[in-house]
Amino acid sequence: MTRKKIVLVGFLLLFIPMVAQAETTSIVSPAISDIVAAPAQTEGSQSNLLALRVMTFNVHSAINWYGKFDVEGLAQFIKEADPDIVGLQEVDLGWSGATNFEDIPAELGERLHMFYAFSASRERNNGFFGNLILSKYPIVQQWTKVMPGRLEPRSFNFVQLFIEGRRINFLTTHLGLSVSDRLKQAASIIDFMNLVSGPLIITGDFNGGDHDPAVAEIKKNLADLQSMSEFKESGTFRSKDGRIYPTLKMDYILATPEFNLSSLKVVDDTYTSDHVPLIANLTLNLE
């Protein structure tokens, strides 16, 4: 079965146990049972290096900076960027009239011919709002968790992928607006990270900059890829005047030491959302 055909099968509603029982609704396409076997290494591959392009993007429910709902434009932007793995925040699934109550995870998965895994942070009237992971590679497992927070629920979405015979861990999240909430949520993520072995990439909207205590906690033992690039002084949020200020850095791609950074770009010329995405090109030694 081709990737396109699998994506179009639809999605399976899952309540997947973590070390503790998962506390949030998760939606995965394709069914995990279809892809539990790790794919063999690509036939004829001559390289011991795996190249991965990773994107993180708070997509503002596919409502662009001009206030227009445009999931087609968002899909086209992602397609042109051609990432292997994407972590998206602020994603609707039948959540709001402003987005026509559309199933954005399924819409993006179908348009991009990518596997996807969604985690809901909030639910109302059978609609969901949360985080989405898109992948060119099969998703073999997912764990999700709603994290503590006083202002509003937040969640993280974690998946495992098999790529060229190697297990890759990927997590995306959207932290809260208050320092106290972010600290609790950071602790929840760190507790989970301590249970994960192998290469790990974390992406997300952390709602805080480099000096935020919660951000600093999550970054321990992880490389902040933007800080290693020529875009280290760039913000990631477009202000009301249309400009991006260095003080408005809140989106991150972090990685464990197994990964090497080839390049990273803050894509500051798109108005697809009120945030701007980060795209990192990474390599991983397969030996």
**Residue at token pair 């309540």:** 15
Residue 107 lies in a domain: no
Average pLDDT value over all residues in the chain:
85
pLDDT score for 1: 40
In a domain, 64, yes or no: yes
pLDDT at position 62 is 83
Separation between Cα atoms, residue 60 and residue 90, nearest integer Å: 5
H or E stretch including 265? strand 259-266
For residues 111 and 227, the answer to whether their CB atoms sit within 8 Å is no
Q: Is residue 158 part of a domain?
A: yes
- The Cα 26–Cα 23 span in angstroms is 9
Q: Taking 70 as the threshold, does the pLDDT of residue 25 lie above it?
A: no
**110 within some domain:** no
Residue 225 lies in a domain: yes
Give me the pLDDT at residue 245, please. Answer: 86
DSSP state at residue 165 = T
- Asked if residue 30 belongs to a domain, the reply is no
**Cβ pair 157, 205 in contact under 8 A:** no
* CATH assignment of the domain containing 195: 3.60.10.10
Task: Note whether residue 31 is domain-resident.
Answer: no
Rounded to the nearest 10 degrees, the angle between the axes of helix 71-81 and helix 104-112 is 40
Tens of pLDDT, residues 223-278: 999 999 999 999 999 988 888 988 889 999 999 999 999 999 999 999 989 899 99
Three-class SS state of 16: coil
Total domains in the chain come to 1
Say if residue 141's pLDDT is above 80. yes
Q: What is the pLDDT of residues 31-74, one digit of tens each?
A: 333 333 334 444 445 578 999 999 999 998 888 888 899 999 99
Q: How far apart are CA 25 and CA 175, in angstroms?
A: 18
pLDDT value, residue 26: 61
pLDDT of residue 267: 95
Q: Pick from 269, 279, 228: which is nearest to 84 by CA?
A: 279
What's the predicted TM-score (pTM) here? 0.86
Instruction: Give domain status of residue 188, yes or no.
Output: yes
Residues 6+ apart with CB under 8 A from 102: 71, 92, 94
Task: Transcribe 26-66 into DSSP letters.
Answer: EEEES-GGGS-SPPPPPTT---SEEEEEEEEEE-GGGB-TT
Alpha carbons 239 and 46: distance in angstroms, whole number: 46
Contact assessment for residue 34 and residue 11, using Cβ atoms and an 8 Å cutoff: no
**Domain enclosing residue 161, as ranges:** 49-102+121-129+137-285
Q: For residues 124-140, give the mean pLDDT.
A: 92
